[in-house]
Amino acid sequence: GTTIAAVPRVAVVVFLLRGKAVLLGRRRSSVGDSTFALPGGHLEFGESFEECAVRELKEETGLDIDKKRMELLTVTNNVSSEQPKPSHYVTVFMRGVWADGDDQLPQNLEPTKCDGWDWYDWANLPEPLFWPLEKMVKSGFNPFPNSPQE
């Protein structure tokens, strides 16, 4: 087949917070199949992190969130030599906040890529988590504002 040059890519993913819960979906993908992951995707040419976060969230869940209330939390380097698809992502973690009293429901708009979206308590996350997320959680990172880890 065709040989594709392996290069690092930039991914932007979103911790959408609602109370003590975060929005996660079980992946359907050759990368991290059936693990729980944040909404997000690839940064497009010319995009800001905020624009990418808002766009991916909309494309994948139908949810509209305020670009001005998006914040950059951290960046991690994720290298995997796993066959058949080695990958290298620089992953930008953004925080979005669910507006109080918001009645939008997450929709599964890309059902070939995800089993569906749901809210999961931070203290009781589902397993297995997608490994870059798992790595971050294990490092003690907490996406909530005013948490001691920040």
Q: Which residues bind ligand 8DG (CB under 6 A)?
A: 11, 13, 29, 31, 37-38, 40-42, 56, 78, 89, 91, 113, 130, 132-133
Pick the stretch among 53-61, 83-91, 123-131, 141-149 that binds Mg ion (CB under 5 A): 53-61
CA distance 47 to 62: 19
- Smaller CB separation from ligand 8DG, 13 or 73: 13
Residue 50 or 56 with smaller CB distance to Mg ion: 56
The Cα angle at residue 45 between residues 131 and 3, in degrees rounded to 5: 65
5 vs 100, which CB is nearer to ligand 8DG?
Answer: 5
CA distances from residue 67 to 76, 102, 148 in whole angstroms, order as listed = 22, 16, 25
Q: How far is the CB of 39 from ligand 8DG (least distance, A)?
A: 6
Q: Is 6 exposed, middle or buried (0-12, 13-18, 19+ CB in 10 A)?
A: exposed
> For residue 98, which amino acid is it?
W
Closest approach, Cβ 67 to ligand 8DG, in A, equals: 18
